[in-house]
Amino acid sequence: MKYYLLILILINSLFSIAQEKEITAQLFNSYETYKETTLHKRRIKHVDIQPLIVGLSSKVGFTVSKVGKSIESRDLSLISIGQGPVNVFLWSQMHGDEPTATQAIFDILNFLGSPDFQTEKTELLSQVTLHFLPMLNPDGAERFQRRNVLGVDINRDALRLQSPESKTLKRVRDSLKADFGFNLHDQSRYYNAERTKKPATISYLAPAYNYEKEINTIRGNAMRIIVFMNNIIQKYAPGQVGRYNDDFEPRAFGDNIQKWGTSTILIESGGYLKDTEKQEIRKLNYVSILSAIYTIAHENYKEILLLDYEKIPENDRKLFDLKITEATYELLGKTYKIDIGINQLEVDYKDHQKFWYSSRIIDQGDLSTYYGYETLEMKGFNIKPAKIYPENMMSIKDVKSVDFRAILKSGYGYIRVENLPMEIINSPFPVHLIGKDHKVPEFHIEPGINPTFFLEKDGQLHYAVINGFPMDLNQSDISIPNAMIYR
């Protein structure tokens, strides 16, 4: 009889796993149907999500409640759906410049409100009740900054509760007595999965609830769900998952919510090749979170081995946007071989709707243990300084007539312009613009400078690096997002 029961349990387990794999594939393949198209860039604002929340308030099955206000009196809303006994609480953007999961939440809400997958959703929502608190830090989102207007990192305010946003999060968690919590963030695109060149596209953590990093049932359940989600992400972004260090942080919300009895899963959205606005990562959030909710509803996560959590590689931070290897650099009459690590750093325009790039050399020397989203292997190539174009231009309009490919192939990376309008803050061309009196500093490669130089071999320039963006001068397409203006 015992043998028969074991066989029955195994069959049910295998059937459940097959069901989960099938629903995950269906979610991935049908994603575009539910993607919230009004949210298509990272710099979303409170005003962008309000019409969506208002629309949900009149939709059958959804309950929308105003649960608090930010310092600048922007509404904080809780959106709930389901009738199940297990409460799942998801909150996003407690850091104002971390919006990927906020977008994914509205994709999930579109899915839940659609007429599709009715059998699966009816079963799901009979087991769980879902609660979403999107954009916890709307004032920070307005400025695309991490902290709130008080200058407080909300994720380090779980004890003192100085900020109204922090008080709201604590009050909602306590009122729900949430069984599971999803703490949704973004992380730097420069994190990689430990000892690999692959970005940590998604990183996880089941936060510790004490300095000893003990594992009780609450934290163990969070670990098991993370293992489940990792298995899903591996299908679509293999090798691109990292795991955060679990040192206890007594001020952090994740650590405390775990301590307060909610199985807490931290999800961090990192980098993905050629996904500046993180739309592919948004899709991975959508699929993995919905699949995790599915396994919570069916309690299949209980069968997952805790040991598999430790097998997820830890986060590392050894990625550059551009890595140049073994280039030859001349200094004081001698030549040296150096690697150069460059990051293409974003600078917001005043309205925080869009951004431009002001790149920097981050490190140089032996970078053999580092990686690049793009790598140029430049052994045998010489680094050459960029020159100033000999003909001065009167205006921006005159610059437009320049054959940029021709002047770059001649080693010119700067054009002097007599009249540079103050309202133009970066160069829309693949060369830097300099004011009539600006003196370009003597060329010297060092961390902190804007990366602008050429790469030459056998007396011919092959590559231009302008504002940290490489251009192959043997190709017809010569363009970069922007260069700099030096007045």
- Per the DSSP assignment, residues forming a β-bridge with 338 are 327
- CA 355, CA 144: separation in Å to the nearest integer? 11
CB 133 within 8 A of CB 90: yes
Give me the CATH code for the 319-486 domain, please. 2.30.40.10
Q: How far is CA 210 from CA 182, 253, 263, 327, in A?
A: 19, 13, 14, 48
Based on the number of CB atoms within 10 Å of its own CB, is 42 exposed (0-12), middle (13-18) or buried (19 or more)?
buried
CATH 2.30.40.10 residue ranges for the chain:
319-486
DSSP codes joined into one string, 8-26: HHHHHHHHHHHHHHHHHHH
CB count within 10 Å of CB 411 equals 17
> Largest alpha-carbon pair distance within the chain?
93
* Superfamily covering domain 2-316: Zn peptidases (3.40.630.10)
Instruction: Give pLDDT, residue 6.
Output: 43
Instruction: Give pLDDT, residue 476.
Output: 87
Structural tokens at position 145: 């900054």
CATH 3.40.630.10 residue ranges for the chain:
2-316
Contacts of 127 (CB under 8 A, 6+ apart): 84, 85, 86, 296, 297, 298
Instruction: Give pLDDT, residue 439.
Output: 96
Contacts of 366 (CB under 8 A, 6+ apart): 339
Three-state DSSP class for 178?
coil
Q: How far is CA 360 from CA 342, 370, 372, 444, in A?
A: 6, 16, 14, 13
CB 175 within 8 A of CB 240: no
Mean pLDDT by 10 residues, the chain (487 residues): 45 50 89 97 98 97 98 98 98 98 98 96 97 98 98 98 98 98 98 96 98 98 98 97 97 98 98 97 98 96 96 97 98 97 98 97 98 98 98 96 96 97 96 96 97 97 98 94 97
